[in-house]
Structures are given as C-alpha cells and as structure tokens.
Amino acid sequence: MLFQFTESQDLSISKTYLKLIISQFYIRKVIKVMFPYHNSVMSKAISLSRSVPCAGDCALRDVWRRNIHRRVICIILSPNKREQFLPMSVVLISTVDKGGNRNIAPYANVIPILRPLDSVAIASWLRRDTLDNIRDTKEFVINVPSADLVNEVMICSRNYPTGVDEFAVANLSAKASQKVTAPSIERCIARMECTLDREVTEEGKYSIIIGKVVHLEVDDRYLAENEDMDFERARPLSMMLGETGMYYTVPAGTGDYRRYAEMFIGDN
C-alpha cells in the first residue's frame, strides 16, 4: 500500500491523483469501445468517485479504489493529516528568563539522541519564550509528566505575556535542579537537566535545540523491582494528533519483552 503526501501545504491534489483522473478518462473510453452494453457500471463508479470530496477523505477514496481499480491502492493524505501517524511523548520544558522569571511549556517534538541519553533534541517554533530563554541562559530542564498532569500541561500551553510565572499559573511546585539554574518540576516522573550544546535554525521557521544532559533523575516510586521503569504505573504522557485536537495517550505493554542481545544475532 502506498501512502503519499502532497508536497506543499497549498496542494490539495497530488500529481498521482491527477494521473488517476486522467487515466479514468482513458479507461472509460476503452471500456465504451470494448463493452458498449456494459459500461453503465463503470459510469456509475466514475461518477461516484467524482462525488467523493477531494483531498482529505482518504478513507472513502481508498475504498473506492480498492473496489474499482483493484490494483491501485493509494491514500493521499492532506497536509493536516500528515502528522497524525506518529505517537509522540509529551514533556514539560522548564526555563528561566534573563530576569529569573520561571517558564514552563509543553513540547512533543523531543528526540533522545541514541543511548545512553547524553544528548537530546527538541524542535521549537521560533516564537517561543522557551526558545528565547534557552538562547539567553543556555540551559533548560526536560520534565516527564504523568497522564495525571494533562490539565497542567494544557494550562502551560496557553499564551502568557513574557515574564509571567507559569509555575504559579499552573500551580506546579518547583524543585531545585542539581546542575542548572532553571528549576525542575516537582510532580514529574523524571527530569533531565540540560545545557545548550548546539542550535540548528531554519531561518524564519523553527529551531532544533540540542541539549547535553548534565543530570538525569527519576522518581524511584515508578521503578519496578528490576529497576526498569514501570511505565504502566508511571503513565508517562504521550499523544497522537487528530484533525482538530490532541488525543492524550499512555504507553501500554504488548506483553513482548525482547532482549537487546537479540538485535546482535548474526553479528560477527
């Protein structure tokens, strides 16, 4: 099955879809010549396809293509659906500004840079107090909230004038960090204190911040007997994006536990 994304935000019909419309035209002509008495079925199918709303109604078009052109199975996702297929972890990033005002913002574009977790990257739009604070102070804390903190996460996601203390607004208690000045958040499962290592900016759009993890601590109440994280008890917050909002989720085990060693089978 082919999943195809349109290239530009403005394009609602991709080249493939156009090709399909043109090929419909020729298929119809051929069928008319070959089966003059049986083409009403095809006409019905083609008019059905035209009545299907354009770009975005992938499911409907997919069903139609599966039935009519059995060999063409293609789902064209409109731009606002592209981001819906990837589960994302939600974290709270705490920072301070030059004047010492405390700030918190939820971020879901967070990527650990391999193991062990020495470096971590976050993607930020440019108009974020969080980004300004990281640039000014060269440090930040990535706090991992549990699902119980959804309301606080949403409160911190709102726009406040620069300098407003978002710990106070969201009624979250600060915990002194070990290695950085920015405070950590008390009720979170884990906290990663980071210093700014590098910034990669796409001018006018976004910035990727790479942080060096200088201190990492986890609430030991959420550790299992073998000291692995008991994620079903901790319920670290994650999400899937939807058409008009976010579906908050938590990780659930599949019952599979596979040793790392399995990945190296076959290595010489």
Ligand X SMILES: Cc1cc2nc3c(=O)[nH]c(=O)nc-3n(C[C@H](O)[C@H](O)[C@H](O)COP(=O)(O)O)c2cc1C
**CA distance linking residue 113 with residue 120, whole number of Å:** 5
Measured at the CA of 95, the angle between CA 89 and CA 101, to 5 degrees, comes to 140
Residue in 108, 144, 182, 234 binding ligand X, rule: CB under 6 A: 108
- Judged by beta carbon, residue 106 or residue 183, the one nearer ligand X is 106
Task: Indicate whether 157 belongs to the interface with ligand X (CB under 6 A).
Answer: yes
Task: Indicate whether 129 belongs to the interface with ligand X (CB under 6 A).
Answer: yes
Task: Indicate whether 20 belongs to the interface with ligand X (CB under 6 A).
Answer: no
Task: Indicate whether 94 belongs to the interface with ligand X (CB under 6 A).
Answer: no
- The nearest distance, CB 208 to ligand X, in angstroms, is 10
Which stretches within the chain are classed as H helix? 15-34, 39-51, 58-68, 129-137, 150-157, 166-169, 231-234
Task: Indicate whether 239 belongs to the interface with ligand X (CB under 6 A).
Answer: yes
- Judged by beta carbon, residue 46 or residue 105, the one nearer ligand X is 105
- The nearest distance, CB 214 to ligand X, in angstroms, is 21
Task: Indicate whether 123 belongs to the interface with ligand X (CB under 6 A).
Answer: yes
Task: Indicate whether 125 belongs to the interface with ligand X (CB under 6 A).
Answer: yes
Which residue in this structure is represented by tokens 């406040």? 160
Q: How many CB atoms lie within 10 A of CB 216?
A: 17
Residue in 78, 89, 94, 130 binding ligand X, rule: CB under 6 A: 130
Which residue in this structure is represented by tokens 């918190």? 104
Q: Find the part of the chain contacting ligand X (CB under 6 A) among 24-32, 73-81, 128-136, 225-233.
A: 128-136
Residue in 240, 246, 249, 251 binding ligand X, rule: CB under 6 A: 246
Torsion over CA: 151, 154, 155, 156 (sign): positive
For residues 93 and 184, the answer to whether their CB atoms sit within 8 Å is: no
Task: Indicate whether 250 belongs to the interface with ligand X (CB under 6 A).
Answer: no
Q: Find the part of the chain contacting ligand X (CB under 6 A) among 13-21, 35-43, 150-158, 180-188.
A: 150-158
For residues 241 and 83, the answer to whether their CB atoms sit within 8 Å is: yes
Write out the binding residues for ligand X, residues 172-231 only, by CB under 6 A: none
Task: Indicate whether 90 belongs to the interface with ligand X (CB under 6 A).
Answer: yes
**CA distance linking residue 218 with residue 192, whole number of Å:** 9
Task: Indicate whether 76 belongs to the interface with ligand X (CB under 6 A).
Answer: no
Whether the link from the prior residue into 112 is cis, omega within 30° of 0, is no
Task: Indicate whether 121 belongs to the interface with ligand X (CB under 6 A).
Answer: no
Write out the binding residues for ligand X, residues 27-56 only, by CB under 6 A: none
Residue 102: partners with Cβ closer than 8 Å, 6 or more residues away = 94, 95, 96, 165, 166, 167, 168, 174, 182, 183
- Interface residues with ligand X (CB under 6 A)? 90, 103, 105-109, 123-125, 128-130, 153, 157-159, 239, 246
